[in-house]
Amino acid sequence: MDADPTDFTPSSSSPTGEGVTVVIIAYNDAEHVRDAVASALDQGAAVHEVIAVDDASTDATGALLDVAAARDLRLRVHHRTVNSGGCGTPRNDGLRLATGRWVMFLDSDDVLPAAAATTLLDAARTSGAQVAAGACIRRELPLGREVCWQPALYREARTYASPTAEPRLVRDTLCVGKLYDRAFLQDHGVGFPDGRFLYEDFVFTARVLAANPRLALLPDTVYVWHVRRDSGTPSLSLDRREIANWQARLEAHRRVTAILQAAGREELVSAAHTKFVDHDVRMYLRELHTHDAKYQQRWWQLTREYLAGFPAHAVDAARAPARWCARVILASEAPVDLRRLIELAARPGRLLPPYAVIDGQAVWSTALPQVALDDILTKPVGRLPVTVTAEVRPGRRTRLQLRVDDLYGRLAEARPVTLELEVASRTAPDRPLTHGRAPLVAAPGGDAWTAELELDVRQLAARNGGHGHPEAWDLAVVVHCADGTRARAAPRPGVRQLRRTVVPTWHGLLLLQPYCTTGGALAFRTDRGLDGVTRLLARRVRRLLAGN
């Protein structure tokens, strides 16, 4: 069987314009598609044309695109008569219809920042690169939290003569946020898998890297990826409720490594395996508690079988929490220690007790002594997956009772002294509120320390977005040690039930909701005013009426 079934016949047409063709794909997205089209047309002279492919929408998407095309001749609309079931086929349609010298992709619910096309085009022309890429901002809505995708690759402007000069490029699996030389794609037959194929970006990106382009990377933000967690219909890749999603991801990764292997890009094959351990396994593992036992069993079986084919050096090259998780999965035929694994897979990781040492080597447990936790006895304490547990007593001055577990005796060596609490809004994570320090007191038994801190929620009220705008807050603790070590951790909720409370403040009523994130960390939601309280009461009434 061909290692790279291309599923794509490139257009034979030569570029008729030196500018950029922006290919937009849309399906039943009348609410957002106009913003995407406007952001592409507003790029200015750099954009030669915009091709919008309507994948047989059943809402007003197609009509809205036609209206926009009548207003701007640079916009061409292609209406598919049958829905493709995925994102690859409409993107391939756009590639075939493109006439620009360069091409970039845009999804209908995302936007291009101002001058993104110009920035990428200038970089490609200056460097002679066939691919120019910039930073992609992942914006979570409705809260507006922004995170840079693969920031390590986009800290500074760099040009690579070949992808093998920077194997970490396999970690950026997005096809968006990049500008491609269309002739280069044509010459190498690079396209997307057709039909309902999840993670088509993975395969497309692998084909691009296998073709060995010259690449220019920029720190400039050139794409805004909108992640709508409250959407009634999650995107294909974000819908991870069924095991079929994980199976699709495994199949995509198999295709990626087969493509790179066939092209002789051994460095990239190894990097792709390591990325899978670092990113894919860890991401799904930290969400495993949201699924039932049947899903967990099947996920474990599929993952174990797949990881068994990885070379040991590729697993060993992954970051410590991820490679330890992979080793546990490989060592046990059935799911084991899921609570500990899920906590370790969080970001930042937390390694829960019990801690075992055999023959001077830290291991996962006495039941799995073959799983070595390498480096844990020598790694600097500040880089260890420290576990901090917090019991919450909500109120105007919310009290947190915190426990810091001693990790294989390493914290005791550093002599913990105080604990500091930081609270950061999801919309401004770089401006955390500091809530002072508290002394750490050794717990009975000598295997932990405890502290008590107060969180003055009036500060949250002052920073809250206002009436009708809930806010999410992440917590972090910093353990200060006598030897100068600082260990940072995200506290996890304790056993006491997390309950909502309404707090009167100078800014009016504040609804305070402690909750556990998908990654197992303690966080808070706040909402100001009577509107927030009314929403809370309405939710309670609905649950009562439903019999919950």
> pLDDT tens-digit profile of 38-81?
999 999 999 999 999 999 999 999 999 999 999 999 999 999 99
398 shares its domain with 424:
yes
CATH of residue 109's domain is: 3.90.550.10
- Band (421; pLDDT cuts 50, 70, 90): very high
How confident is the prediction for the chain on average, in pLDDT? Answer: 89
Contact call for residues 306 and 314 (beta carbons, < 8 A): no
Q: Would you say residue 506 has pLDDT above 60?
A: no
> pLDDT tens-digit profile of 453-480?
988 877 776 665 444 567 888 999 999 9
Domain stops at, among 209, 227, 245: 227
Contacts of 401 (CB under 8 A, 6+ apart): 390, 391, 393, 450, 451, 452, 494
| Residue 24, token pair as written in the block | 């937009």
Name the pTM for this structure.
Answer: 0.88
* Interatomic CA distance for residues 98 and 22, integer angstroms: 8
361 shares its domain with 425:
no
The pairing of strands 433-439 and 416-425 is antiparallel
Domain stops at, among 227, 246, 275: 227
Contact call for residues 418 and 439 (beta carbons, < 8 A): yes
Query: What pLDDT, on a 0 to 100 scale, did the predictor assign at position 469?
Result: 65
Helix (H) or strand (E) holding 423: strand 416-425
To the nearest whole percent, how much of the chain has pLDDT over 70? 89
Q: Specify if 10 maps to a domain.
A: no
Q: Specify if 235 maps to a domain.
A: no
Q: Specify if 396 maps to a domain.
A: yes
CA-CA distances (angstroms) from residue 526 to 108, 459, 463, 505, 514?
Answer: 31, 11, 10, 12, 9
- Backbone conformation region of residue 337, classed left if phi is above 0, alpha if psi is from -120 to 50, else beta: left
Domain stops at, among 346, 378, 410: 378
* Dihedral sign, Cα of residue 422, residue 425, residue 430, residue 433: negative
Query: What pLDDT, on a 0 to 100 scale, did the predictor assign at position 433?
Result: 80
* Interatomic CA distance for residues 215 and 165, integer angstroms: 10
Contact call for residues 323 and 331 (beta carbons, < 8 A): no
Query: What pLDDT, on a 0 to 100 scale, did the predictor assign at position 509?
Result: 73
| Residue 109, token pair as written in the block | 């619910």
313 shares its domain with 370:
yes
- Total domains present in the chain: 3
> pLDDT tens-digit profile of 149-160?
999 999 999 999
Highest mean pLDDT among 178-182, 410-414, 461-465, 488-492: 178-182
398 shares its domain with 373:
no
Q: Specify if 239 maps to a domain.
A: no
Name the nearest CA neighbour of 90 among 4, 28, 14. 28
Q: Helices then strands (H, E): number in the chain? A: 16, 23
* Interatomic CA distance for residues 383 and 320, integer angstroms: 10
* Interatomic CA distance for residues 22 and 116, integer angstroms: 11
Q: Specify if 2 maps to a domain.
A: no
Pairwise pLDDT comparison (197 vs 466), residue with the higher score: 197
- Band (238; pLDDT cuts 50, 70, 90): low
503 shares its domain with 411:
yes
293 shares its domain with 209:
no
Of 178-187, 247-256, 368-377, 489-498, where does mean pLDDT reach its minimum?
489-498
Q: Specify if 210 maps to a domain.
A: yes
146 shares its domain with 44:
yes
> pLDDT tens-digit profile of 77-96?
999 999 999 999 999 999 99
485 shares its domain with 534:
yes
CA-CA distances (angstroms) from residue 323 to 218, 276, 304, 329?
Answer: 30, 10, 13, 10
What mean pLDDT comes out for the span 165-174?
A: 97
Q: Would you say residue 544 has pLDDT above 80?
A: no
188 shares its domain with 321:
no
Contacts of 235 (CB under 8 A, 6+ apart): none
How does DSSP classify residue 58? S
Contacts of 328 (CB under 8 A, 6+ apart): 336, 337, 341, 364, 368, 371
341 shares its domain with 387:
no
Contacts of 317 (CB under 8 A, 6+ apart): 270, 274, 323
362 shares its domain with 482:
no
Q: Specify if 12 maps to a domain.
A: no
Residues of the domain holding 335: 265-378
Q: Would you say residue 326 has pLDDT above 60?
A: yes
406 shares its domain with 426:
yes
* Interatomic CA distance for residues 380 and 410, integer angstroms: 9
Q: Specify if 113 maps to a domain.
A: yes
* Interatomic CA distance for residues 78 and 53, integer angstroms: 5
* Interatomic CA distance for residues 339 and 39, integer angstroms: 44
Q: Report the chain's terminal Cα–Cα distance, integer Å.
A: 53
What mean pLDDT comes out for the span 197-211?
A: 97
